[in-house]
């Protein structure tokens, strides 16, 4: 994969040679100032090859899996946090599936937690029993055990390996694009439904390097789907969710004068302060943070800014692998790091932080 940062107003979403061979030649189109390849393919809706639980030798679930009578709203990307094996064989992939299930049994779960797993060799496997059947049926969904709060709303996709300091092999990446495209088609989702585990939980999953490529994943899936995207798509953060995005909300609440501890846990106090903030600004006082609240809560930042909003910015940048001192002062170093982030996200490299940069920081999609 090409890791060269894109240049502002002349960005190109580059695809590696093997991806181009897999997907076929196409034409260039522009999405939000970013050039990307639109692929001509005889049947873009064709399902990728997915090995069922029976195929890879899963044991029966230890209890009934819950079938939910609705479609999921989100695709959540994970990594297995296992060794980056160079054995890319089918047998190694199936052994991984069995190992994960046994580990999840040992954790007290009734079955594999995620819905699908992709090996480093690119083999796609059904995880939790009936996930493949429900995906093919389109209107139903198996409740997972891969992320608190989102288990009833998100399809979990595990990617074999640890991607904090490495990118996935081409074979895995191609299968991830294909699987995400198929899930979107089956459940009527858009590419902006793809998020990382860390967007909703206090974890480094799916690894800093893979997380940094979620924009490319969304763009490639979008190119396959050919659907329109909204200008900005924000993650919905509510009670029970933890992690960096919760810290950002808590810092921003403090910047407006709300007494909020920055714990990274979205509990009753944070929900109460969000409801007060919403009511004070004419929004529905629902106590969770959706698109309207994000758009109202964020604050523009530039060199010379200081305070809790800058702490939120610097903490987010650090969490994404950008070395940034968290001191609450927006100086030349923070400006440089912001510009690096903007370049890597395909945003105009302006050095100040507006809505699009905030959206990208919290894991949202910017068209």
pLDDT band at 188, cuts 50/70/90?
very high
Query: Please, what sign has the CA dihedral across residues 225, 229, 233, 236?
Result: negative
In whole angstroms, give the CA distance from residue 47 to residue 296: 40
Question: 232: how many CB neighbours lie within 10 A of its CB?
Answer: 18
- Global pTM? 0.85
> What is residue 135's predicted lDDT score, i.e. its pLDDT?
97
Tens digit of each residue's pLDDT (9 = 90 or more) over 94-119: 999 999 999 999 999 999 999 999 99
> What six digits make up the tokens of 285?
């006082």
pLDDT above 80 for 23: no
My answer on whether omega of the bond before 206 falls inside 30° of 0, hence cis, is yes
**Tokens 């079955």 found at:** 111
pLDDT at 45: 55
Task: Extract the tokens encoding 116.
Answer: 């699908």
Mean pLDDT, to the nearest integer, of 207-229? 92
pLDDT score at 230: 77
DSSP 312-331: HHHHHHHHTT-----SSB--
How big is the CA angle at 210 (ends 321 and 354), to the nearest 5 degrees?
55
- Mean pLDDT, rounded, of the chain: 89
Supply 295's token pair: 């758009």
Q: DSSP character for 265? A: B
Query: How many helices (DSSP H) and strands (DSSP E) are in the chain?
Result: 13, 13
Tens digit of pLDDT for each residue in 53-105? 999 999 999 999 999 999 999 999 999 999 999 999 999 999 999 999 999 99
Q: Which of 292, 161, 39, 152 is nearest to 284 (CA)?
A: 292
Residue 156 pLDDT level (bands cut at 50, 70, 90): very high
Q: Look at residue 259 in the predicted model and tell me its pLDDT.
A: 94
Reference 289, options 248, 257, 256; nearest CA is 248
Using the predicted structure, report yes or no on whether residue 191 has a pLDDT greater than 80.
Answer: yes
Residue 70 in tokens: 């609705």
CA neighbours within 13 Å on the CB side: how many for 285?
Answer: 9
Given a contact cutoff of 8 angstroms between Cβ atoms, the answer to whether 210 and 172 are in contact is no
Name the strand (E) or helix (H) holding 125: strand 124-126
In this model, does residue 9 exceed pLDDT 60?
no
| Tokens (6 digits) for 234 | 């924000």
pLDDT digit string (tens) for 38-49? 333 434 557 899
**Spatial separation of the C-alpha atoms in residues 276 and 288, rounded to whole Å:** 11
Separation CA 135–CA 123 (nearest Å): 17
Tell the residue number behind the tokens 């939000």, with chain if given.
32
Higher pLDDT, 169 or 1: 169
Dist CA 301 CA 331 (whole Å): 11
Spatial separation of the C-alpha atoms in residues 302 and 279, rounded to whole Å: 28
What's the confidence (pLDDT) of residue 44?
A: 52
Q: Measured in whole angstroms, how far is the alpha carbon of residue 336 from the centre of its chain?
A: 25
- In this prediction, residue 32 carries a pLDDT of 39
Contact 86, 214 (CB under 8 A): no
> For 258, left (φ over 0), alpha (ψ -120 to 50), or beta?
beta
Cα–Cα dist 331/338, whole Å: 11
Q: Mean per-residue pLDDT for 163-192? A: 97
- Which domains does the chain show, CATH number per domain? 67-228 (3.40.80.10), 241-366 (1.10.101.10)
Residue with tokens 């502002």: 8
Q: pLDDT for 281-328, tens place per residue?
A: 999 999 999 999 999 999 999 999 999 999 999 999 999 999 899 999
Task: Please determine, for residue 345, whether its predicted confidence score (pLDDT) is greater than 70.
Answer: yes
Question: What size, in residues, is the chain?
Answer: 367
Q: What is the pLDDT of residue 367?
A: 79
């Amino acid at each position: 994969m090409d890791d060269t940062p894109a240049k502002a107003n002349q960005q190109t979403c580059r695809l590696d040679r093997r991806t181009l061979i897999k997907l076929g030649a196409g034409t260039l189109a522009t999405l939000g100032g970013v050039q990307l390849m639109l692929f001509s393919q005889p049947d873009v809706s064709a399902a990728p090859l997915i090995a069922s639980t029976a195929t890879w030798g899963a044991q029966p679930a230890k209890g009934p899996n819950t079938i939910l009578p609705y479609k999921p709203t989100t695709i959540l990307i994970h990594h297995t946090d296992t060794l980056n094996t160079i054995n890319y064989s089918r047998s190694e992939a199936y052994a991984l599936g069995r190992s994960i299930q046994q580990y999840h049994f040992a954790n007290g779960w009734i079955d594999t937690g995620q819905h699908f797993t992709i090996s480093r060799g690119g083999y796609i496997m059904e995880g939790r029993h009936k996930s493949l059947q429900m995906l093919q049926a389109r209107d139903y969904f198996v409740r997972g055990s891969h992320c608190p709060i989102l288990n009833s709303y998100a399809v979990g996709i595990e990617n074999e390996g640890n991607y904090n300091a490495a990118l996935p092999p081409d074979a895995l990446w191609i299968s991830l694009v294909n699987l995400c495209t198929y899930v979107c088609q089956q459940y009527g989702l858009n590419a902006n439904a793809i998020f990382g585990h860390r967007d909703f939980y206090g974890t480094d999953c799916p690894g800093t390097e893979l997380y940094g490529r979620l924009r490319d994943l969304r763009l490639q899936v979008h190119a396959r789907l050919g659907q329109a995207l909204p200008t900005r798509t924000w993650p919905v953060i509510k009670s029970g969710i933890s992690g960096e995005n919760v810290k950002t909300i808590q810092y921003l609440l403090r910047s407006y004068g709300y007494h909020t501890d920055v714990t990274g846990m979205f509990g009753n106090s944070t929900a109460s302060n969000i409801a007060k903030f919403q009511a004070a600004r004419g929004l529905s006082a629902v106590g969770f943070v959706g698109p309207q609240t994000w758009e109202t809560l964020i604050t523009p930042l530039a060199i010379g800014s200081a305070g809790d909003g800058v702490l939120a910015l610097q903490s987010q940048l650090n969490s994404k692998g950008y070395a940034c001192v968290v001191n609450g002062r927006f100086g030349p170093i923070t400006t440089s790091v912001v510009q690096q982030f903007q370049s890597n996200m395909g945003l105009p490299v302006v050095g100040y932080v507006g809505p699009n940069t905030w959206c990208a920081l919290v894991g949202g999609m910017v068209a």
